[in-house]
Amino acid sequence: MKLKLVPIAALMAAVLASPSAMAQKKYDPGASDKEVLVGHINPYSGPASAYGTIGRAIAAYFKKVNEEGGVNGRQINMITYDDSYSPPKTVEMARKLVEQDKVLLVFQPLGTPPNSAIQKYMNAKKVPQLFVATGATKWNDPKGFPWTMGWQPNYQTEAKIYAAHILKTKPNAKIAVLYQNDDYGKDYLKGFLDGLGAKAKTMVVKQVSYEVTDPTVDSQVLQLQASGADTFFNITTPKFAAQAIRKAYDSGWKPVHYLNNVSAQIGSVLKPAGLDKSVGIITTQYLMDPDDKDWKESKAIKDWVAFMQKYYPDGNLHDVSNVYGYTVAQSLVQVIKQCGNDLTRANVMKQAASLKNLQTATLLPGVKINTSATDFAPIESVQLQKFDGTTWERFGEIMGN
């Protein structure tokens, strides 16, 4: 009798000693031994449909991952819906993904208004709203909205980097600021003033705003010039950025010109403003531009081109949005990899908040993704770049954390 109990006791001891064996394989809706079901919302039609290519690049990347065996043996299946950049449609699609398709998480909804519309719902349902595609600072709010997380550098982070650069290179600068009078402009302005700290009061000699409805910003630029400033922080969207660059040059004002990343586009901003008038403009970047001569021959961009040709042959090889989609999809793959066999929604958020020095290939060398339970802002470093008349010249080191 005694002898018979021994193996049973041993068995029980073994079971008790390995709690991990029992904790293995935890699933929430959308996850199983075979697959991880990811929801995705993107504007394929409507006013922002130019960003539709991001969704297609992401889908193509998951196809590649799945052909190569998936993540931890599971296929990543993505259901993607069109919201036409219309917040009511975003709500409908988010509900469809969560309630009907029963996805594990909702990935990369695009735009500040669509994401604002679903933030409350996603947090009430406790479903991850992961790596949203907008630069607003409000997505970094782990206390208020623990189920929502951004991805790209947010406006305040970027503005702080310009402030740091000014403090370092021109500590006695007299700064003029032009900003769009809405949450986007104010987000940048706040980051900039915070970055300058106590010196903001003396350094910033003039702040002027404009309305999206204004026909031009000519008079604002003249006001800024009249202030005697020698440094110009230009927080404008593409059309106004082009006007401001042209006016600042034509009026004979030659400030050190910082332009926000929102308008750091050669084709749609600098060309209309005049490439010769744009020489010396400083802005930031965090992704590799496939047209950048430094990266054209790099392994990262060559891999990306090979990926595009095989999985997304219709995609534009000059569009940074396709690099963006590729890079953000890699970040999600990393999160799912880290989740291991605990594919619960809570663990997805926990792992997304535990990314340490993640460097995917197409991020600029030195740009690292770091998150923690109190830091829901994955990319917080960028590199400054200056326009030389034909292309961007990156300079200095990677700034930010």
Site for another protein contains 112 (CB under 8 A): yes
Site for another protein in 169-198 (CB under 8 A): 181-184
Nearest to 234 by CA among 136, 289, 138, 159: 159
CA distances from 15 to 2, 21, 26, 236, 340 (A): 20, 8, 18, 63, 21
Candidate segments 92-100, 296-304, 325-333, 374-382, binder of another protein by CB under 8 A: 92-100
Provide the minimum distance between the beta carbon of 332 and another protein in the complex, in angstroms, as a whole number: 19
Site for another protein contains 356 (CB under 8 A): no
Identify which of residues 116 and 334 has a Cβ nearer to another protein in the complex: 116
Identify which of residues 25 and 310 has a Cβ nearer to another protein in the complex: 310
Q: Of residues 28, 30, 37, 56, which one binds another protein by CB under 8 A?
A: 56
Site for another protein contains 251 (CB under 8 A): no
Provide the minimum distance between the beta carbon of 287 and another protein in the complex, in angstroms, as a whole number: 24
Site for another protein in 28-47 (CB under 8 A): 44-47
Candidate segments 78-86, 167-175, 190-198, 277-285, binder of another protein by CB under 8 A: 78-86
Identify which of residues 91 and 266 has a Cβ nearer to another protein in the complex: 91
Candidate segments 79-87, 232-240, 301-309, 335-343, binder of another protein by CB under 8 A: 79-87
Site for another protein contains 116 (CB under 8 A): yes
Identify which of residues 114 and 255 has a Cβ nearer to another protein in the complex: 114
Residues that contact another protein, how many (by CB under 8 A): 38
Site for another protein contains 303 (CB under 8 A): no
Site for another protein in 118-157 (CB under 8 A): 119-121
Site for another protein contains 373 (CB under 8 A): no
Q: Of residues 194, 211, 250, 388, which one binds another protein by CB under 8 A?
A: 211
Site for another protein contains 250 (CB under 8 A): no
Q: Of residues 10, 14, 88, 389, which one binds another protein by CB under 8 A?
A: 88
Site for another protein contains 91 (CB under 8 A): yes
Instruction: List residues near another protein by CB under 8 A.
Output: 44-47, 52, 55-56, 80-82, 84-88, 91-92, 95-96, 98-100, 111-114, 116-117, 119-121, 181-184, 211-213
